[in-house]
Structure 1
Amino acid sequence: FKIVMGDQEILKRMPVIYKYTDQVRGEIYQPLVIAPPVTATLTEKAFIFNGIEPKTISVQLKSFKDNASGTIKPSLPAGWKASSDNISFKLLKKGDEQLITFQVSPSANTSNGKLLLNVVIDGKTYNSGLRIIKYDHIPEQTLFPTAEAKLEKIDLKFAGKRIGYINGAGDLIPESLKQIGYDVSNLTESQVMNSDLSQFDAIVTGVRLYNVNEQIKVLQPKLMKYVENGGVLLVQYNVNSPLKIDDLGPYPFRLSRDRVTEEDAKVTILAPEDPAFNYPNQITTNDFNGWIQERGLYFVTDVDNRYTPLVSMNDTAEAANKGALIVSNYGKGKYVYTGISFFRQLPAGVPGAYRLFVNLLSQKK
């Protein structure tokens, strides 16, 4: 609105809000939301294809009006095919939701790209998803991101399929590994202690497990015995303080606050003959292209010489750091500690990150 004072005009912009009363929280103020008739929200940010086998795509529809009917028209890059070009829907009431599915498959020779969902209603086309951010300490935020996801066709070789996963503070690594064909079991503390871990080709710990899990002091000896007997344990990053235990691996190292925040920072492969870069996939520096947000964080320091540093990297004008990724043989198995931000790269569908992660999980028998 405008305020006019004499010959001066002041333009004032204010959000439109509405107020309602919650029986517990009292008066609640929320911004007015202007929504499309129907949103189409994809379940993943990226869909990874290893080969030409089709993959099922799930879409959650939500109506913001009564009697919303129309079609979903997937838009695909050249060389990709959807099982249906027009998917009909009908939502009777405002607020109704419906899950629809269709299949997408790549051809033998195709380029990567994006899947875009076009929602056609009453002759008009919309392509919005829905994301709601809701916390008690802030007003509810309703976002309508574009209804799209990356499509990546990756040539991946595997050595082992069964993965055990121990949750930390929360990440999407299990879902990402399932996308490329791994059989992933989420393990509770009881399952770690009481089951035969040799059934797993590798075990992965969630980010910050050693910061948040009160039982890790009891679990750690079992995990080390698993490695000693021939397993692969991959430990994702932890912050350097506070830690529930001091010894995260079979041999000593400390965690620093070092990180590399430039996602395109140069990466130097320090041990090109190591299996991490050769088995089962051949890794080159090109596999570090197209990464997002950062390279990694909370790198290791004061590393025992029985570990092998695999890469070095650094932000602009900083010294090269060898603490992003270390590996060691222990008994018959392999221990990996990584500060590399795989928890960001895999859900984002970064091909090189997938290839390297698969290699780290793999071991020649």
Structure 2
Amino acid sequence: MSTATRYDIAITMGDPAGIGPEIICRALAAMTPAERATTLVVGDPAIYRRAAEMLGAALTFAPLDAPAAPADSVAVAVVEHPAGEAMPDGQISAAAGDMAFRCVKAAVELVQSGRAGVIVTAPLNKAALHAAGHHYDGHTGMLAALTGAPSSFMLLASETLSTLHVSTHVSLREAIERVTPERITATVKAGHAHLVKLGMAAPRIAVAGLNPHCGEGGIFGDEDDRIIAPTVRALREAGLDVQGPISADTVFYRASRGEFDLVVAQYHDQGHIPVKLIAFDTTVNVSLGLPIQRTSVDHGTAFDIAWQGRADATNLGSAIAYARRLVAGQSA
């Protein structure tokens, strides 16, 4: 393979003790030869070969830029499993957590150097990540640190409902403290810019309220009237099609019926629960606000079924398809 080859997508292995290698091989096997030729994977080729053999998938893997690689082989940006370090299937281990981190770091470098367009991440395990000394709240925080981004935003995208979050992996108490004009404004603008890149001329955005019934005039809290409503008015005056605050017990239903293109949720569970209820298997996790583009599955490592040939790659397929949309937007 030529050193000048640029790949549309770089898929990270995730935690190798989980279902990442298996679902990646399933997704690769389902691709056309042309799609595989524009896709590289990050991780240890030996682990990918093991997963492919378990599935009976006719896949071959070769290190990135290997001079004698077969024409139909999948390119691998090699991140090896260190010899002698235990990494048992379906279990938390520091070795697996470190490998997951190193795969993400390598993928970021590939995108930054122009070798790949969009990163697609398989699931990692936060406990394993922390055991390896990498103290991030997950992929989103890790990617922000690796790219030097001051902040990032988590978008959950599906055909029926999409939500963007003012805060994600923090306590509910801290999430309330993060409901500020600055953070809401940045979240709405990030969502608007993303949808415009995908081809929407005037995205319709709804901002969910924080308190029950948006505080009911201050009876259940004043944050909606004091913080969210003035911020939404300012965004509308700036020319964005944004409404809110809208009570969280109705806004997601209204969006799912087509009234809005995006809902800005105030905290993790407020946005995650409705999307996962409606589109658990097809929801894609997308990182916004970074100097690189990344999509991901919206599920975990599933240690209980790892390396048993049982994992479903539907969600990864959705993440890859969304990533290809982003690649198309890069060249538009």
Larger Rg: 1
The TM-score, its normalising length taken from structure 2, stands at 0.30
The structure with more strand, counted as a fraction of residues: 1
The structure with more helix, counted as a fraction of residues: 2
Which structure exhibits the higher relative contact order, with contacts defined as CA atoms closer than 8 Å and separated by 6 or more residues?
A: 2
